[in-house]
Amino acid sequence: MIFDIDKIRQDFPILQQKIYNRPLVYFDNAATTQRPQRVIDALTRTYTEYYGNIHRAAHFLADKATEAYEQTREMVRELINAESREQIIFTKGTTESINLVAFSFGEAFIQEGDEIIVSEMEHHSNIVPWQLMAGRKGAKIVMLPIDDDGRLQIEKLESLISNRTKLIAVTHVSNVLGTINPVKQIAQIAHSNGIRILIDGAQAAAHLRIDVQDLDADFYAFSAHKMYGPNGVGVLYGKKELLEQMPPYQGGGEMISEVKFAGTTYNELPYKFEAGTPNISGVIAFGAAIGYLQQIGIENAAAWETELLNYATKQLLTIPGLRIYGTQVEKSGVISFNVEGVHFFDLGTMLDKFGIAVRTGHHCADPLMDHFDIQGTVRASFAFYNTKEEIDVFVAALKKVISMF
Ligand code: 7TS
């Protein structure tokens, strides 16, 4: 045991509950994690002590809220080792971060006939925004395939790159397979060909130490709600020279410098991309989540999650007819599987009756499902607050459910 798991679990009030009179086993952390009391307190404290609209008013509450909001920006900068706070843009989540880039980068840099490379294992939110942009600009999406182990075929990348390729969009960690992609190497290939890279960090930010400068990411996107923070808050990191050249994604308050009917000038970074009143309390509470995660230690969390992954994988593989999708060594704590003769949806529904929360379905990754010629899987995904005892309960329940079919 790397840290005191009983003590850690006490920090998460929701984990203390019983579901259908059984202790909750929460294995849906890839969809969204749960929040420690500290984050819930930060939300309440914001609303009870220093809530006001940020950046605009000359009064005490607004000043305090602005200070706390900007403090989170600095914490995010430090967390991912960005050069400057101007490169940290708050959005409502990974989805909005990617849509922002697809729109604004598309407007600034994509011409008719240009190409974007997108991997076969992407979540829909790293596919559809590019398709929308491609439709607007007359650009083309080129797919980077995976093999049957759930590995990106990066040896094919060079051959997919043409003189029209402008950007590679790839996930750091697959939400279905758990595969940790060699994004630093992909960035090197991209840059040696004069191409930009967007990394979808939704499944990485809570489980890997991210260093955007070391990765040499042009864009990096992630969500607070998958990092023990509030929902409705996300981050886009971007290289300054790109963000400066990109037009605003949305128009409104805060993103302007001066508005005249004859023409408007835009605010400086990062505010150019933060139109309107943002999720003030959410961003402030995200700061509390980052503080908590730093205290646990991302490396400690990852080591424990890997132990859980290995423990669960070993047990699951003893079940006849069970197939795991995604068998890479470089893998995060996500296990997607099917059991021969039992529909994934039935498995998920029955596991719920044992108080076990897993996700079933296509996991917003239809092209990946097509690769394996399946409609969906059962997915168990772990966080540092999960235990081996919970895995024992899960495996025993799974065996019981399978025997019922
Ligand atoms: N990218 C990846 C790799 C994801 O796993 C998700 C959400 C997103 C993007 C979108 O993030 P959002 O915060 O903007 O919604 N993934 C999942 C999942 O696997 N189950 O529910 C949501």
* CATH for 5-30+297-404, options being 3.80.10.10, 2.40.110.10, 3.40.50.11540, 3.90.1150.10: 3.90.1150.10
pLDDT 10s digits, 167-193: 999 999 999 999 999 999 999 999 999
Ligand 1 atom nearest the C-alpha of 175 is: 5
Q: Whose CA is nearest to atom 18 of ligand 1?
A: 31
Q: What is the pLDDT of residues 142-154, one digit of tens each?
A: 999 999 999 999 9
Residue of 94, 98, 174, 228 to mutate, ligand 1, most atoms within 8 A of C-beta: 94
Nearest 10 degrees: CA dihedral of 40, 45, 47, 50? -150
What digits encode the pLDDT tens for the residues 244-303? Answer: 999 999 999 888 899 999 999 999 999 999 999 999 999 999 999 999 999 999 999 999
The answer to whether the CB of 90 falls within 8 A of the CB of 269 is no
Q: How far is the CA of 202 from the centre of ligand 1 (A)?
A: 6
Distance CA 225, CA 211 (A): 20
One fold for 5-30+297-404 and 41-294: no
Question: Which protein residue has the closest C-alpha to ligand 1 atom 11?
Answer: 94
Ligand 1 atom closest to the CA of 28, numbered from 1? 20
Fold held by 41-294? Aspartate Aminotransferase; domain 2 (3.40.640)
CA–CA dist 402, 350 (Å, integer): 10
Q: Tell me the Ramachandran region of residue 170: left when phi exceeds 0, alpha when psi lies from -120 to 50, beta otherwise.
A: beta
Domain ranges of the chain: 5-30+297-404, 41-294
Nearest to 184 by CA among 165, 199, 194: 199
Could you tell me the distance, in angstroms and rounded to a whole number, from the CA of residue 117 to the centre of ligand 1? 19
**pLDDT bracket for residue 2 (50, 70, 90):** low
- Kindly report the protein residue whose alpha carbon is nearest to atom 15 of ligand 1: 95
Across the range 19-30, mean pLDDT stands at 97
Picking from 328, 341, 332, 338, the residue whose alpha carbon sits closest to that of residue 377 is 338
Mutate to test the pocket of ligand 1, among 27, 32, 91, 95 (most ligand atoms within 8 A of CB): 95
pLDDT value of residue 57:
78
Average pLDDT over residues 355-359: 98
29, 96, 125, best to mutate for ligand 1 pocket (most atoms within 8 Å of CB) = 125
Residue 3: pLDDT band with limits 50, 70, 90: confident
Show which residues are catalytic: 364
Contact 385, 352 (CB under 8 A): no
Give the contacts of 168 (CB within 8 A, at least 6 positions apart): 116, 117, 118, 144, 157, 186, 190, 195, 196, 197, 198
Over residues 296-334, the pLDDT tens digits come to 999 999 999 999 999 999 999 999 999 999 999 999 999
CA distance 359 to 31: 8
Cβ neighbours for 129, distance < 8 A, ≥ 6 positions apart: 95, 98, 99, 101, 102, 103
Q: Give the pairing type, strands 165-171 and 140-144.
A: unpaired
Mean residue pLDDT across the chain: 97
Give the global pTM: 0.98
Ligand 1 neighbours (beta carbon < 6 A): 30-31, 93-95, 123, 125-126, 171, 175, 200, 202-203, 223, 225, 359, 363-364
* CA–CA separation, 362 and 348 (whole Å): 13
